[in-house]
A and B are shown apart, each in its own frame.
Chain A
């Protein structure tokens, strides 16, 4: 990587985007943030904030409109028993139902991860760090 490119990446990673005053962004709500052409979905889940790339890679549906619910899992940890899990933390694409872990951005059942963004609260403002 050239020094110029490193510098450019470093600059981008420091960008802070104000989303909303904390008082306007209570638990159970979400915001759709558009930075240039990039759409970001921001969620307040029980007081924890999560921000993810806002378009489903499948057919570009806006993920900020997705429901948060649980899903069905079955793996070695469950002894291959089918279980309902991650209740309230599975973001379901409003387009066709692709599911993402709202914490990690990882898609369930796909080798795919959405970009996630750090969210901080500074001086009563909810801020995305890009």
Chain B
């Protein structure tokens, strides 16, 4: 006890090499109790080794070969690490704690704190499948991932799954949706949108949207740092550092795909289909909405399927808060959300446990009224994913 009566505690601590246990949840436990909290972007260890048992024939042989690879000490089962290490090996001097993959036990320990009502699991390793050049291989990976996830993570309290599809193989993607849509823990279809060429609104991909609409499963576009590939807008010819790729790659891709989907008239063709964008931040939303509206005045005849202006469609898209931009003033987030009228569509997302994850303190520091905070922390996500309130 200090002389002025304040309590004093001293604890010997060690440097943290493992950011998996986010203690900040405990810090905000009281403030969050009673609120519905849905973390709409959570990742678990889904490295390729888990998929081996879900692959057959020559793809299984191929996976066995992949698993023997070793890139600078990283296990050869990490597609992301293989690619990242070629391009920007050690560029950040291991400065942020390395992204530890969360095991099932890590996830359950986080859920057992009783603060988060739902965690929505999205792929990690398969986020780059959008730019794998071989559609059959990409589709085989997606099939294996989905079966692994519904086997390993089904029937866990508050844990829900977004299945992944390989957009370059729309027919197989539709089959995946048909296969898993009825599973009670499958709540969304994740379309990895980075590197997809042509952009995702192209007619080629419509079987994916048809299948999702058929089963009333919302579509979630989840970005990834593009690392190395050649498709717009993420060519390494233009992004020379990982920081550039990471900060601009996600929103550039998201803007491209939103523009592509809306301009293709997909919201008109599939009026009940819900869309979300994850891991791209928020600040670009007003930009794309009102920039397209301005151009729409002149070029409406290029988009004859649209029945209202672009922002009227984009406003219906849900959007995850991660990676939340560092807005300077505490009132800025509410102002930003008001600009794109996202009070009913913005959803809290942590990206736990990836190294870019947003701690909940990063969201709680912003001032907003209780109604808006409640919507963002959980109510909007309950509606998007069709979840039942638990509190």
Contact = CB atoms under 8 A, between A and B. Distances in A.
B92 interface: yes
A68 B12 contact: no
B2 A17 contact: yes
Contacts of B15: 30, 65-68, 94
A35 interface: yes
Interface string A104-121: 000000000000000000
Nearest to A33: B10
A29 B12 contact: yes
A74 B188 CA distance: 46
Interface in A68-127: 68-69, 71-72, 92, 94-97, 99
B114 interface: no
Given A33-B10, A60-B361, A99-B95, 14 more contacts: A16-B3, A30-B15, A32-B13, A33-B8, A34-B8, A58-B326, A59-B358, A59-B362, A59-B365, A60-B27, A60-B359, A60-B362, A62-B13, A96-B356
Interface in B1-39: 2-4, 6-17, 19, 23-24, 27
B304 interface: no
Contact of B362 (A32, A58, A62): A58
Interface residues on B, range: 20 to 34
Contacts of B11: 31-34
A45 interface: no
Contact of B9 (A34, A72, A96, A99): A34
B16 A66 contact: yes
B361 A59 contact: yes
B359 A17 contact: no
B19 A19 contact: no
CB-based closest 10 A-B pairs? A97-B96, A36-B6, A60-B361, A65-B16, A59-B362, A94-B16, A59-B359, A97-B95, A67-B15, A34-B9
B97 A31 contact: no
A126 to B, nearest CB: 10
25 contacts: A31-B10, A31-B11, A32-B13, A34-B7, A35-B2, A35-B6, A35-B7, A58-B326, A60-B24, A60-B359, A61-B24, A61-B361, A66-B15, A66-B16, A67-B15, A69-B93, A69-B95, A72-B93, A94-B15, A94-B16, A94-B97, A97-B95, A97-B96, A97-B355, A99-B95
